Amino acid sequence: ALFAFLLSWSEYPFGLILLKTQSKHTVAVGLGAFLREFDVFWNEMAAAAVMMSLPLIIIFLFVQKFFVRGLTEGALSG
């Protein structure tokens, strides 16, 4: 379930092509709004990228012990 969440978190082509209304766009598509034809708003884009990654970091901090336990048990069993 976690891998499905991570893969769907940045579905840029799906969000850009299939979702027509701006209110339904994914966060990755929203980051593209900072790109202009002749200019890129780097400060705002960097801040938005940090905000986009915060939920993943928080989730990882809560489930980190399960990852470590699963990796060590898998490495020792086989």
d(CA 8, CA 6): 6
Contact assessment for residue 26 and residue 10, using Cβ atoms and an 8 Å cutoff:
yes
What does the chain come to in residues?
78
- The whole-angstrom separation of Cα 23 and Cα 58 is 25
Q: How many domains does the chain have?
A: 1
Question: What DSSP character marks residue 78?
Answer: -
H helices of the chain, in order, are 2-9, 12-17, 27-31, 42-77
Domain that holds residue 29: 2-77
pLDDT in tens, 1-50: 666 766 666 677 777 788 888 787 777 787 777 777 788 788 888 888 89
Over residues 36-74, the pLDDT tens digits come to 778 878 888 888 889 888 988 998 899 999 888 888 887
